[in-house]
Amino acid sequence: MFCPDLIIGRHPVHGILADGDVGDETALLLEQAGFVYDEDLGVHRVPAGLSLNAEQDCVERAMALLYGRLSVAYLSGDQATEAAGFPPQQFPPA
């Protein structure tokens, strides 16, 4: 089973997040790509309010900068929502 060092995907509430093995070098590369550290969530995220094209540019820059340094998985759509899980007050749809 593939277990990446870092997962990038769209959280259903918080937008595009990068979560996983984020040491100082990885954090710097994510920030160079346009991500910001969200202290409340404890992860890097694409800044809120960007257009879809700008969000995608951040993700593409991050993937290019991280290439060959660590394993990165990009989850899209339903995969990212499933990985994020359901908020504690909600239950999966029947």
pLDDT category of residue 88 using cuts at 50, 70 and 90: very low
pLDDT, tens only, 10-50:
888 889 999 988 899 999 999 999 999 999 989 999 999 99
75 pLDDT above the threshold of 90: no
71 in Cβ contact with 84 (< 8 Å): no
Burial of 35 (0-12, 13-18, 19+ CB in 10 A): buried
Residue 55 has pLDDT above 60, yes or no: yes
pTM: 0.79
- Residue 92's Cβ-count burial label (10 Å; 0-12, 13-18, 19+) is exposed
